[in-house]
């Protein structure tokens, strides 16, 4: 039995009917999309312009005060992150080690994913060492070497421990760290220095002195002394 052919669709007519019925909704969606596009474009322009201005300001900054101004004016920019590091270095050069460590800690808190976080922690350890706080500096270097074992700062953190341990006359621990550098970071720049330090370090343990044999030592184990001199010959008897 033949079937009736499907009804043909007038696409243009249906589209016009749809637009007539939902004209207000379509216009509203288009307006929202245009506004969102304009807003995004304006935001990107603002961000790029602000980043360029921050970078320009950082390039011309030379003093601690100028670095602080960049941080205050562009607090979340990449230039501000760099300004924290430069400010800490300026404070260190003025021997303001406590202030420098506060600046570095603020940098770490604000930019925890920054690629120079391990460098900041290394700088904090070096500042502690400069203040004579060798135990705290040693712990800080150990934290860097453990937490950032795959970073470029790890072998340097280990080597910095060697210098402190040498000052504490803990040569065996220093030697173990040098061997670790040569094993795990043998291709790093600091492997050569680790090798040189290892050659200079002597084990802390001293050889046990040889005990002289006592009277209880069996005669055949006691060291032999020089043979006694032969007795002089008897003088010849006088002739009658």
**By residue range, what is the domain housing residue 123?**
115-203
The per-residue b/e assignment along 57-92, b for 16 or more CB within 10 angstroms, e otherwise, is bbeebeebebbbebbeebeebebbbbbbbbbbbbbb
| 149 domain residue, yes or no | yes
| 109 domain residue, yes or no | no
pLDDT band, very low/low/confident/very high, at 111 (cuts 50, 70, 90): very high
Residue 55 confidence (pLDDT): 82
For the ranges 125-139, 189-203, 204-218, the maximum mean pLDDT occurs at 125-139
| 104 domain residue, yes or no | no
Least confident of 56-60, 72-76, 150-154, 193-197: 56-60
| 2 domain residue, yes or no | no
Among 94, 128, 153, identify where a domain stops.
Answer: 94
Q: Compute how many other C-beta atoms are within 10 angstroms of the C-beta atom of residue 44.
A: 10
Total domain count, the chain? 2
| 9 domain residue, yes or no | no
| 178 domain residue, yes or no | yes
Q: What is the mean pLDDT of residues 95-114?
A: 97
Residue 25 confidence (pLDDT): 62
| 236 domain residue, yes or no | no
Q: Is the pTM of this model over 0.95?
A: no
Among 64, 94, 124, identify where a domain stops.
Answer: 94
| 223 domain residue, yes or no | no
Indicate if 79 and 19 belong to the same structural domain: yes
Q: What is the domain-level CATH number for residue 161?
A: 1.25.40.10
Cα 159 from Cα 180, distance rounded (Å):
10
Cα 76 from Cα 58, distance rounded (Å):
14
Q: With contact defined as beta carbons under 8 Å apart, do 102 and 92 qualify?
A: no
**Secondary structure element (H or E) that encloses residue 49, with its range:** helix 23-60
């Amino acid at each position: 039995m033949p079937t009736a052919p499907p009804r043909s669709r007038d696409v243009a007519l249906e589209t016009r009917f749809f637009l007539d019925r939902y004209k207000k909704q379509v216009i509203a969606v288009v307006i929202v999309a245009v506004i969102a596009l304009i807003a995004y474009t304006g935001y990107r322009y603002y961000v790029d312009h602000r980043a360029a201005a921050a970078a320009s300001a950082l390039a011309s900054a030379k003093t601690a005060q100028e670095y602080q101004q960049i941080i205050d004016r562009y607090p979340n920019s990449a230039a501000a992150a760099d300004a924290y590091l430069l400010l800490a270095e300026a404070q260190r050069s003025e021997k303001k080690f406590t202030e420098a460590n506060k600046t570095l800690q603020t940098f770490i808190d604000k930019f925890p994913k920054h690629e120079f976080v391990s460098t900041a922690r290394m700088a904090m350890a070096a500042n502690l060492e400069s203040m004579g706080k060798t135990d705290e500096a040693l712990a800080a270097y150990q934290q860097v070497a453990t937490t950032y074992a795959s970073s470029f700062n790890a072998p340097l953190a280990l080597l910095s421990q060697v210098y402190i341990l040498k000052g504490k006359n803990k040569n065996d621990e220093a030697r173990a760290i040098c061997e670790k550098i040569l094993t795990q970071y043998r291709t790093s720049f600091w492997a050569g220095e680790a090798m040189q330090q290892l050659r200079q370090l002597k084990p802390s343990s001293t050889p046990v002195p040889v005990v002289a044999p006592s009277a209880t030592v069996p005669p055949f184990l006691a060291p032999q002394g020089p043979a006694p001199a032969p007795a002089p010959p008897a003088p010849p008897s006088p002739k009658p």
